[in-house]
Structure 1
């Protein structure tokens, strides 16, 4: 019964990988279309700030999707991956995307402090997990 559940889980993960790859291809095509459209509209080859923010936001969204796809593949299809490092890395990229597209003039000070606290917490978590990893790898299981 457990073998059947493991096979079902693996099949579902493979389906998610295929669907995520399809979404990433479509998002990349959409990004390309937006860039071409914005560059060719008058004034040609000049982008306004809102267009740049839209392009950067979508670009970062595609990168987050790629990281998420890599996370699914590494975490669930290869059992040896360090799950915490991968999840924290994706979270750092997602927060970085938010910071890049953030309009500081329209954002409250509390929101900025919250983002700063989130960034610090994620970076500290990443450093702690990475520093403990070698210690965990050196521990040998007891022999029976």
Structure 2
């Protein structure tokens, strides 16, 4: 029974990886088309500010997808959750939110909350990398 459950779990992960790869591929195609259209548009080869922010947002969204793909792949191959990759995905997602944040009609409170969240995630990422480095130094001695 456990072997059947293990096989089922592996197939679910394979399907998730395949679907995520398809979504990332379409996102890359959409980003390429967005950039090409922005460049060859009739406005003297210049992207507007909101278009540049859209390109940055799409780029970061693709980067998030690739990092999630790496997380799933690492779990399938090694059966370990790589916390630093998950924190990196969260940092990229918050950075994307901050880059695309429109603060024209709201107070600064959401932006302060995002800044605190980003600071906490970066601090956690730093602690995990520092602990990993110390572990590697101890094992080398």
Q: TM-score w.r.t. structure 2 length?
A: 0.86
Q: Give the 3 Å change call, closer, same or farther, for CA 82–30 of structure 1 in structure 2.
A: same
Contact 1:13–1:77, Cα closer than 8 Å, also in 2: no
RMSD: 2.1
Say if 2:120 is the partner of 1:121. yes
* Counterpart Cα distance in 2 of 1:135 and 1:4: 40
Query: What's the secondary structure of 1:15's corresponding residue?
Result: helix
Q: Deviations 1:23-57 (Å, cap 9, x if unpaired)? A: 11111001111111111111131111011111111
Matched residue, 2:7: 7
Q: For structure 2, list consecutive stretches of 5 or more residues without a partner in the other structure.
A: none
* Counterpart Cα distance in 1 of 2:42 and 2:133: 56
Q: Give the 3 Å change call, closer, same or farther, for CA 117–29 of structure 1 in structure 2.
A: same
Contact 1:24–1:66, Cα closer than 8 Å, also in 2: yes
Q: For structure 1, list consecutive stretches of 5 or more residues without a partner in the other structure.
A: 140-144
Q: CA deviation at 1:112?
A: 1.2
Q: CA deviation at 1:102?
A: 2.2
Matched residue, 1:108: 107
Number of aligned residue pairs = 138
* Counterpart Cα distance in 1 of 2:21 and 2:75: 16
Q: Deviations 1:92-120 (Å, cap 9, x if unpaired)? A: 11111112222344452111110111011
Q: TM-score w.r.t. structure 1 length?
A: 0.84
